[in-house]
């Protein structure tokens, strides 16, 4: 019966709500390996054995939000807050550019210190210096007008994980005033403006069930984003979820395969969190259908302070070494890094 559902997923690219639940609840080794091999084949049919790289610049760990899972939440008094300057950020880009990266991702806490003017100035500066590079923002929820300004300034993509598509579950993960409704509204607005958009969720976050995950798959099918970011939840000792169990490698890989089958062309990263819970988690992610890796370009001291969860990997890597190591690791599984921008196929700036 579970194989029938797996075949239906492969044939039709989606399932009904209860069928997702059944597939998740009854997955076994056979179905895992079947979906993994189909997903890998779909990825290589669309993207070959090329893995796109995104240089992650974690420009601030200051945040006005208080998400219960996150290590840089407002209420965590146990971290030193930092902000990168425009010069720091450009320095990160330069290091990234030198090693062949052609996409930069500006990510940070939701830090009101950075006004829209400042964000636009950063976008302009990066785009002026590196016109052949794509720029992705991952800077949280804003008003439409702000998003419009960022797009006009030259930003190309926006990552905003929806975190969970189930309202009650969303409330368990985020205190007010955050709301699922606003999160989803932001994603709609970002798409309308013309960004390549990325949604996604944590696997194994406290309160997640197969039912909420079925809602995630359904929501993603409706949204049809260009990028999907998923990774295991990993506890952080200075958060209310310090004693909660981490998400598993196995379920994350299973979800990656489902998503690749549902979205043959989506840009799907093997995330840092996946590489944190397993030494070769990112390689396993690629073999399960992922096609993007996001090495950190943040300066050493910033990396040590941008700890969303325990044991985060890459904190000690140097960017240049990181690329070489990455290439070696990927060669072992028959893949290589690509030095192109890696846009969603068919996307053009409005």
Binders in 65-84 for ligand SAM, by CB under 6 A: 69-70
- Our CB check for ligand SAM shows the closer of 31 and 135 to be 135
Burial of residue 332 (number of CB atoms within 10 Å: 0-12, 13-18, 19+): exposed
Binding residue for ligand SAM (CB under 6 A) from 62, 76, 103, 138?
Answer: 138
Binding residue for ligand SAM (CB under 6 A) from 267, 308, 319, 326?
Answer: 308
Binding residue for ligand SAM (CB under 6 A) from 202, 261, 268, 286?
Answer: 202
Here the tokens at position 70 are 């996150």
Is residue 228 a contact residue for ligand SAM (CB under 6 A)? no
Is residue 90 a contact residue for ligand SAM (CB under 6 A)? no
Is residue 157 a contact residue for ligand SAM (CB under 6 A)? no
d(C-alpha 266, C-alpha 57), whole Å = 22
How many CA atoms, within 13 angstroms, populate the side-chain half-sphere of residue 93?
A: 27
Q: How many CB atoms lie within 10 A of CB 78?
A: 9
Q: What is the 3-state secondary structure (H, E, C) of 316-348?
A: CCCHHHHHHHHHHHHHHCCCEEECCCCCCCCCC
Is residue 309 a contact residue for ligand SAM (CB under 6 A)? yes
Binders in 234-293 for ligand SAM, by CB under 6 A: 234, 236, 273
Binding residue for ligand SAM (CB under 6 A) from 6, 101, 160, 262?
Answer: 160
- Reference 254, options 46, 27, 70, 95; nearest CA is 27
Binding residue for ligand SAM (CB under 6 A) from 47, 68, 195, 233?
Answer: 233
d(C-alpha 100, C-alpha 342), whole Å = 12
Given the rule CB under 6 A, which residues bind ligand SAM? 69-70, 107, 109-110, 138, 140, 160-161, 163, 202, 231, 233-234, 236, 273, 308-309
């Amino acid at each position: 019966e579970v194989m029938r559902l797996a075949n239906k997923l492969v044939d039709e690219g989606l399932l009904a709500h209860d069928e997702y639940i059944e597939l998740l609840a009854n997955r076994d080794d056979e179905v895992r390996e079947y979906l993994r091999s189909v997903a890998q084949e779909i990825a290589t049919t669309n993207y070959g054995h090329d893995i796109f790289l995104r240089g992650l610049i974690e420009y601030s760990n200051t945040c006005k939000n208080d998400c219960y899972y996150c290590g840089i939440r407002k209420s965590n008094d146990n971290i030193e807050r930092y902000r990168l300057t425009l010069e720091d950020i450009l320095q990160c880009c330069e290091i990234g550019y030198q090693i062949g990266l052609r996409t930069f991702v500006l990510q940070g806490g939701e830090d009101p210190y950075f006004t829209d003017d400042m964000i636009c100035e950063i976008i302009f500066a990066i785009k002026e210096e590196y016109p052949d590079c794509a720029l992705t923002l991952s800077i949280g929820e804003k008003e439409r007008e702000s998003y419009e300004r960022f797009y006009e300034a030259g930003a190309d993509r926006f990552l905003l994980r929806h975190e969970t598509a189930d309202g009650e579950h969303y409330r368990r993960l985020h205190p007010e005033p955050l709301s699922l409704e606003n999160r989803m509204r932001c994603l709609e607005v970002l798409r309308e403006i013309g960004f390549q958009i990325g949604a996604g969720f944590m696997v194994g976050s406290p309160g997640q069930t197969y039912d909420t995950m079925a809602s995630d798959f359904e929501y993603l099918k409706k949204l049809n984003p260009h990028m999907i970011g998923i990774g295991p939840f990993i506890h952080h000792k200075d958060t209310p979820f310090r004693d909660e169990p981490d998400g598993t490698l196995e379920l994350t890989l299973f979800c990656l395969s489902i998503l690749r089958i549902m979205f043959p062309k989506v840009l799907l990263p093997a995330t840092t969190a996946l590489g944190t819970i397993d030494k070769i988690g990112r390689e396993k992610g690629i073999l399960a259908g992922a096609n993007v890796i996001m090495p950190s370009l943040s300066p050493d001291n910033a990396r040590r302070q941008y700890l969303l969860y325990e044991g985060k990997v890459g904190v000690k890597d140097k960017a240049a070494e990181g690329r070489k190591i990455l290439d070696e690791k990927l060669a072992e599984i028959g893949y290589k890094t690509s030095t192109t921008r890696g846009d969603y196929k068919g996307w053009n700036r409005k």
